[in-house]
Amino acid sequence: MIYDNNHNELIEVYKGKYFSKHKKSRAKKVVVLDLDETLGSFVDLEILWSLIKRYNKKNISIHFNDVLDIYPEFLRYGLRSILQYIANKKKNGECYKLFIYTNNQAGQYWTNLIINYLNNYITTEFRLFDQIINAFKINNIQVELNRTTHKKTHNDFIRCTLLPKSTTIFFVDDVSYTDMQTEKIYYIKPMPYNHHLSTNEIINRFIYSKYGIILLPRDSIKNAFKAEYIELCMKNGTYHMYTNTTKAILENDVLISRKIMYHLKEYFLLTNKKNKTCKLKSVSFSFTRKRYN
């Protein structure tokens, strides 16, 4: 395991032996991303969306993407820049494919909603994510037939994607999986990402959004919706009375994403047979996030 020298409490790095060699290779290059707490913090959103569907008895047209747009904080800081970089690498042929490798227990429908949002978030020219490798089992029922375990393993990944074993992999997951620490995997383990919104802020944003005004036209309905959402969050252990953020926490969130981007760029540099001797430039890009009003 190689640790980031300056901020090893924020991000851990494992580079397989392949990346210390300097030989030309035509191996395919792919990027593999975990979903929850890696790309974003989605538990409260799942609770909210399930409640919205339950209250939507008149089948009002409510788009998931518009609801997620209300909460930019649910996405990891800098995610747009990271995904845009991968999209550019796919477009110019340097990145063969992009995968999601998740253990999310909310089901394929929920995972697809988020991934479809992220596809549209970055580009409409082509499909950014090529395949979702879903959880091995949900409620003790096998979902991903080519997985053999809840643990993430190199062998299961190859089995699910049918990629050649010579493929090099850039893998990002906030959980440590020993069986993903193999020769041709460049493994980044960032601190888990958690949004910093209070439960009241989350519910109030929706209630006073364009959809909330239509779906919850009377104060009595608004109050019932809010009370039920709070109760569900408390049962799920995700209720937050106050906004949980400090300047230091926000700076760490930004720094982690910059580190991910740095190592992502290094991965493509190390696996580019034409640029083995090039130096990696420092990462300097903006982490602007639109403010919800």
pLDDT exceeds cutoff 80 at 289 = no
Residue 243 confidence (pLDDT): 75
pLDDT band at residue 258 under the 50/70/90 scheme: very high
Residue 1 confidence (pLDDT): 43
Mean pLDDT, rounded, for 170-197: 97
Architecture label for domain 2-40+75-196+245-270: 3-Layer(aba) Sandwich (3.40)
Residue 274 confidence (pLDDT): 61
pLDDT band at residue 24 under the 50/70/90 scheme: low
The ranges assigned to domains in the chain are 2-40+75-196+245-270
State the average pLDDT for the chain: 91
First to last CA, the chain: 43
Which among 136, 144, 250, 264 is positioned nearest to 197, based on CA atoms? 250
pLDDT digits (tens, 9 = 90+) for 96-130: 999 999 999 999 999 999 999 999 999 888 999 99
Mean pLDDT, rounded, for 180-198: 96
Comparing 173 with 123, the larger pLDDT belongs to 173
pLDDT exceeds cutoff 70 at 140 = yes
pLDDT exceeds cutoff 80 at 244 = no
pLDDT band at residue 131 under the 50/70/90 scheme: very high
pLDDT exceeds cutoff 60 at 23 = yes
Mean pLDDT, rounded, for 15-34: 88
Mean pLDDT, rounded, for 235-253: 87
Whole-prediction pTM: 0.90
Residue 123 confidence (pLDDT): 86
Residue 9 confidence (pLDDT): 79
